[in-house]
Structure 1
Amino acid sequence: MNLIKLLSPRLANQIAAGEVVERPASVVKEVLENSLDAGATKLDIDVDNGGIKRIRVRDNGCGIGKDDLPLALSRHATSKIYDLDDLEAVATLGFRGEALASISSVARLALTSNTQASGQGWQACAEGRDMETEVAPAAHPQGTTVEVRDLFFNTPARRKFLRTEKTEFNRIDDVVKRISLSRFDVGVTLNHNQRAIYNMRAADSQAERERRVAQVCGPAFMQNALHIDIERAGLRLWGWVALPAFSRSQADLQYFYVNGRSIRDKLVTHAVRQAYQDILYHGRHPAFVLYLELDPAVVDVNVHPTKHEVRFRDGRLVHDFLFRSLHHALADVKPADQMPSSQQPREAATATAATGQHYQQPVQQPLQQPMSLRPPARPAVTGVQEQMSVYARLHEGMPETGAVPAAAAAGADEVPPLGYAVAQLKGIYILAENAQGLIVVDMHAAHERVTYERMKTALAREGLKTQPLLVPRSLAVSQKEADCAEQHGDTFQSLGFELQRAGPETILVRQVPVILQQADVELLVRDVLADLIEYGSSERIGQHINEILSTMACHGSVRANRKLTVPEMNALLRDMEATERSGQCNHGRPTWSLLSLDELDKLFMRGQ
Structure 2
Amino acid sequence: MTASEIRELDPQTVERIAAGEVVERPASVVKELVENSIDADASRVTVAVENGGIDGISVRDDGYGMERDELERAVEKHTTSKIRDIDDLESGVATLGFRGEALHAIGAVSRLTITTRPRTGGEATELTVEGGEVTAVRPAGHPPGTTVEIEDLFYNVPARRKYLKQPSTEFDHVNTVATSYGLANPDVAVALEHEGRETFATTGSGDLQEAVMAVYGREVAEAMRSVSGDGLPEGPLDSVGGLVSHPETNRASREYLSTFVNGRYVTASVVREAIVDAYDTQLAPDRYPFAVLFLSVDPATVDVNVHPRKLEVRFADEDAVKDQVEAAVEQALLEEGLIRSKAPRGRSAPEQTEIQPDTGESETEQRDDEPGTDRRKRVSETSDDAAESPNTETSTANRKTDSVGDFSSSQTATDDTVEPETQRERKFQDSGTQSRIAETAESDRFESLPSMRILGQYEETYVVAETDDGLVLIDQHAADERINYERLKNAFSGETTTQTLAEPVDIELTAREVELFDSHTNALARLGFRARLVGDRTVKVQTVPTMVAESAGPELIRDVLSEFVGGRESAADTVEAAVDDLLADLACYPSITGNTSLTQGSVVDLLSRLDSCDNPYACPHGRPVIVEFDTEEIEDRFERDYPGHE
User: What do residues 304-346 of structure 1 show as CA deviations (whole Å, max 9, x unaligned)?
Assistant: 1111111112222211111222234334442799xxxxxxxxx
Contact 2:259 2:293 in 1 (8 A): yes
Distance in 2 of aligned mates of 1:107 and 1:322: 40
Distance in 1 of aligned mates of 2:26 and 2:86: 31
Distance 1:65 1:453, change over 3 A: farther
**Aligned-pair CA distance for 1:454:** 13
Distance in 1 of aligned mates of 2:333 and 2:364: 29
Contact 1:70 1:133 in 2 (8 A): no
- The equivalent of 2:62 in structure 1 is 60
2:250 is paired with a residue whose SS is coil
Quick check: 1:237 aligned with 2:240? yes
**Aligned-pair CA distance for 1:107:** 0.6
Distance in 1 of aligned mates of 2:197 and 2:250: 32
Which runs of structure 2 are paired with 1:378-417 in the superposition (5 Å)?
none
**Aligned-pair CA distance for 1:114:** 1.2
TM-score (norm 1): 0.56
User: What do residues 276-300 of structure 1 show as CA deviations (whole Å, max 9, x unaligned)?
Assistant: 3322213223332211112222212
Distance in 1 of aligned mates of 2:387 and 2:224: 25
- The equivalent of 2:427 in structure 1 is none
Distance in 2 of aligned mates of 1:116 and 1:332: 46
Structure 2 residue corresponding to 1:306, chosen from 297, 305, 309: 309
1:25 is paired with a residue whose SS is helix
Contact 1:228 1:240 in 2 (8 A): yes
Distance in 1 of aligned mates of 2:358 and 2:143: 59
User: What do residues 192-244 of structure 1 show as CA deviations (whole Å, max 9, x unaligned)?
Assistant: 22222223211224xxx212212322333233322111143552111122233
Quick check: 1:270 aligned with 2:250? no
- The equivalent of 2:86 in structure 1 is 84
Distance in 2 of aligned mates of 1:15 and 1:555: 58
**Aligned-pair CA distance for 1:128:** 0.5
- The equivalent of 1:388 in structure 2 is none
Counterpart residue type for residue 147 of structure 1:
E
Quick check: 1:316 aligned with 2:319? yes
Distance 1:304 1:418, change over 3 A: same
Quick check: 1:150 aligned with 2:149? no
Counterpart residue type for residue 81 of structure 1:
I
- The equivalent of 2:113 in structure 1 is 110
Counterpart residue type for residue 145 of structure 2:
G
Contact 2:259 2:272 in 1 (8 A): no
**Aligned-pair CA distance for 1:36:** 0.8
Counterpart residue type for residue 88 of structure 2:
D
Distance 1:451 1:227, change over 3 A: farther
Distance in 1 of aligned mates of 2:170 and 2:316: 35
1:123 is paired with a residue whose SS is strand
Higher relative contact order (CA closer than 8 Å, sequence separation 6+): 1
- The equivalent of 2:175 in structure 1 is 173
Counterpart residue type for residue 107 of structure 2:
S
2:281 is paired with a residue whose SS is coil
- The equivalent of 2:223 in structure 1 is 224
Distance in 2 of aligned mates of 1:419 and 1:335: 19
Distance 1:519 1:43, change over 3 A: same
Distance 1:198 1:222, change over 3 A: closer
User: What do residues 12-53 of structure 1 show as CA deviations (whole Å, max 9, x unaligned)?
Assistant: 111111111111111111111111111111112222222222
User: What do residues 323-374 of structure 1 show as CA deviations (whole Å, max 9, x unaligned)?
Assistant: 222234334442799xxxxxxxxxxxxxxxxxxxxxxxxxxx9x99xx9xxx
Quick check: 1:121 aligned with 2:124? yes
Contact 1:428 1:443 in 2 (8 A): no
Counterpart residue type for residue 154 of structure 2:
F
Contact 1:275 1:324 in 2 (8 A): yes
Contact 1:429 1:443 in 2 (8 A): no
- The equivalent of 2:6 in structure 1 is 4
Counterpart residue type for residue 16 of structure 2:
Q
Contact 2:224 2:245 in 1 (8 A): yes
**Aligned-pair CA distance for 1:145:** 0.9
Distance in 1 of aligned mates of 2:177 and 2:191: 13
Counterpart residue type for residue 243 of structure 2:
W
User: What do residues 113-165 of structure 1 show as CA deviations (whole Å, max 9, x unaligned)?
Assistant: 11145431111111105x33432111112111111111111112211112222
- The equivalent of 2:367 in structure 1 is 427
**Aligned-pair CA distance for 1:98:** 2.2
Quick check: 1:134 aligned with 2:136? yes
Contact 2:363 2:378 in 1 (8 A): no
Contact 1:335 1:418 in 2 (8 A): no
Quick check: 1:295 aligned with 2:295? no
Contact 2:278 2:327 in 1 (8 A): yes
- The equivalent of 2:32 in structure 1 is 30
Which runs of structure 2 are paired with 1:33-48 in the superposition (5 Å)?
33-48=35-50
Number of equivalent positions: 382
Distance in 2 of aligned mates of 1:69 and 1:52: 25
Quick check: 1:187 aligned with 2:189? yes
- The equivalent of 1:215 in structure 2 is 214
Contact 2:229 2:329 in 1 (8 A): no
Distance 1:38 1:449, change over 3 A: farther
Contact 2:52 2:194 in 1 (8 A): yes
- The equivalent of 1:325 in structure 2 is 328
Distance in 2 of aligned mates of 1:282 and 1:47: 35
2:113 is paired with a residue whose SS is strand
Distance in 1 of aligned mates of 2:191 and 2:128: 25
- Structure 2, unpaired ranges of 5+: 341-348, 391-458, 465-593, 599-646
Counterpart residue type for residue 219 of structure 1:
R
Distance in 2 of aligned mates of 1:420 and 1:182: 46
1:98 is paired with a residue whose SS is helix
Distance 1:210 1:116, change over 3 A: closer
Distance 1:148 1:453, change over 3 A: farther
Distance in 2 of aligned mates of 1:96 and 1:440: 54
**Aligned-pair CA distance for 1:180:** 0.4
Distance in 1 of aligned mates of 2:314 and 2:385: 39
Which runs of structure 2 are paired with 1:422-461 in the superposition (5 Å)?
427-428=367-368, 431=371, 442-446=377-381
Distance in 2 of aligned mates of 1:317 and 1:136: 53
Distance 1:96 1:33, change over 3 A: closer
**Aligned-pair CA distance for 1:426:** 6.9
Distance in 2 of aligned mates of 1:329 and 1:449: 25
Contact 2:36 2:99 in 1 (8 A): no
Distance in 1 of aligned mates of 2:7 and 2:339: 71
Distance 1:214 1:314, change over 3 A: same
TM-score (norm 2): 0.53
Distance 1:13 1:453, change over 3 A: farther
Distance 1:451 1:327, change over 3 A: farther
